[in-house]
A and B are shown apart, each in its own frame.
Chain A
Amino acid sequence: MSTTTIELAVRDAIARVKDPEIPVVTIGDLGVIEHVIVSGDAIEITLLPTFVGCPALDVIRADVERAAREAAPDTTITVRFTLSIPWTTDRITDAGREALRSFGIAPPGEPRLLQIAVPCPNCGSRDTVLESAFGPTACRTIRYCNACRNPFEGFKPKGER
């Protein structure tokens, strides 16, 4: 296989790795894959953590390494996280946003504007409020829908200030 073929195969394989905490969303859709660099039989994969203290990072690293190895068996694979570029919720694809919604997690609104109402993932109403910026995982908030009277989780909007 050529370098380009290997790179595309690895990119495709690791993009399909699921987020261990939100298993309907792939890490490709979350936009955490920063680089896949193939040189000879060495493959270097660089990922961006969604949240710095996310305990799923080690699981994601192991899953990415396994997926890359299956796609390119006789290579040396290095997977690392970098903080040299901030991950923001702008990087989530439309498919990722739809997957979050289908899982019952409201996709993020404007970065940094936590208080702005996001549509309820259950009934679609915009009559919702932020209950708490902190939810069951680092990347989620707790919100409440006044229309269908259900609490729901929202993805925490993240952007530079």
Chain B
Amino acid sequence: MSAEPRLALLLALADDELVMGHRLSEWTGWVPYVEEDLAMSSIAQDEIGHARALYEIASAIDGRDPDALALGRDAGDYTHAVVCERPNRDYAYTAARHYLYDTADDVRLDALKGSTFKELAEVVRVLRIEEGYHLEHARAWFERLATGPVDARQRFGDALSDALPEAMALFEPLPGEDAMTSDGTMPASNEEQLTRWLGIIGADLERVGLERVLETGSEEDIGEVLPTSSGASEVSGERKPLRVPGLERRDGRWVHAGSFSGAGGRTGHHSEDFDVLWREMTDLYRAHPGARW
């Protein structure tokens, strides 16, 4: 097959990790307590390292060196999902995106570990080990905030609602994807991966009584988790009709329906937030071409 779809896949994966890592690194020195500051910084360092490993494989196809791929492209040539470039806002949004991103990353790495693209499958095998720590961290915050005091729960639910539509676009189809699913480069299509992911996060959200995130978005009082004799959670308030675009509940499962509301990232269409991030992230590289550090 032509190398271009594989390059597109590698760059999408690498750009997601690089931009996520850059955003997380912005917490360094600002998190309210030191263990979490180290965690954010350490995860950021891992993600940027993972990006480098993926750019190295991409470099063999593209010809440009890994630094040039990471920092030497125009903003419109980056193909990360838009959700990655959004500012950190508060810790609720950071934790919500962290949970959505790392559960999604786990689904796609699990799919890619069986890729026929040998170099990618080998790297994915290593990345999955390290991503396991990120996933545990993201899940710990999910449990803590989703079942926490009402203010934490409300803000976390709102943040999940805000991040969810754009997080779904982590599974926006890639250019040339059909060729990659038929030759086994992608053992599961993005659409199949999205279905798996929605199953996972749908079950999580229903378990903690936050299914409103999937149903109505953020303009709803999320309520407190009330303990019941059966151990199940009950939430006060009436259900509103479905509002999250591209998402439907059918036969007891959350499924993707229609278009992606946060799409465009995979074809280089980004928000204004990325202009700011790109300028900062590439400033040194552009100011001192060829510098080594």
Contacts and interface: CB of A to CB of B under 8 A. Distances in A.
A86 B52 contact: no
B183 interface: no
B123 A53 contact: no
B136 to A, nearest CB: 7
B102 interface: no
Interface in B117-148: 122-123, 125-130, 132-133, 136-137
Nearest to B292: A58
Given A52-B50, A83-B122, A112 B42 contact: no
Contacts of B127: 52
A55 interface: yes
B38 A83 contact: no
Interface in B127-184: 127-130, 132-133, 136-137
Q: How large is the interface on A (under 10, 10 to 19, 20 to 34, 35 or more residues)?
A: 20 to 34
Given A131-B35, A138-B42, A161 B49 contact: no
Contacts of A137: 42
Contacts of B211: none
Interface in B15-73: 35-36, 38-39, 41-43, 45-50, 52-53
Contacts of A53: 45-50, 52, 130
Given A86-B126, A160-B129, A51 B46 contact: yes
A47 to B, nearest CB: 13
Contacts of A142: 35, 38
Contacts, number: 71
Contact of B39 (A87, A88, A112, A133): A133
Contacts of A132: 35-36, 38-39
A138 B126 contact: no
Contacts of A84: 122
A158 interface: yes
Contacts of A158: 129-130
Contacts of B46: 51-53, 138
A120 interface: no
A97 interface: no
A54 B43 CA distance: 11
A136 interface: yes
Interface string A124-155: 00000001111111100010000000000000
A30 interface: no
Contact of A51 (B128, B130, B132): B130
B49 A160 contact: no
B45 A133 contact: no
A114 B136 contact: yes
Contacts of A112: 132
A88 to B, nearest CB: 8
Central interface residue in B42, B132, B137, by most chain A CB within 10 Å:
B42
A156 B136 CA distance: 14
Contacts of A104: none
Nearest to B42: A134
B126 A133 contact: no
A54 B132 contact: no
Interface string A36-74: 000000000000000111110000000000000000000
B125 A160 contact: yes
A134 B133 contact: yes
A133 B50 contact: no
B132 A52 contact: no
Given A52-B130, A83-B122, A138-B42, 19 more contacts: A51-B49, A51-B130, A52-B49, A53-B46, A53-B50, A53-B130, A83-B53, A83-B126, A112-B132, A133-B136, A133-B137, A134-B42, A138-B46, A142-B35, A156-B133, A158-B129, A160-B125, A160-B129, A161-B132
5 contacts: A53-B47, A83-B122, A84-B122, A134-B133, A161-B128
Identify the 5 closest CB pairs spanning chains A and B, nearest first: A53-B49, A134-B42, A134-B39, A132-B35, A52-B49
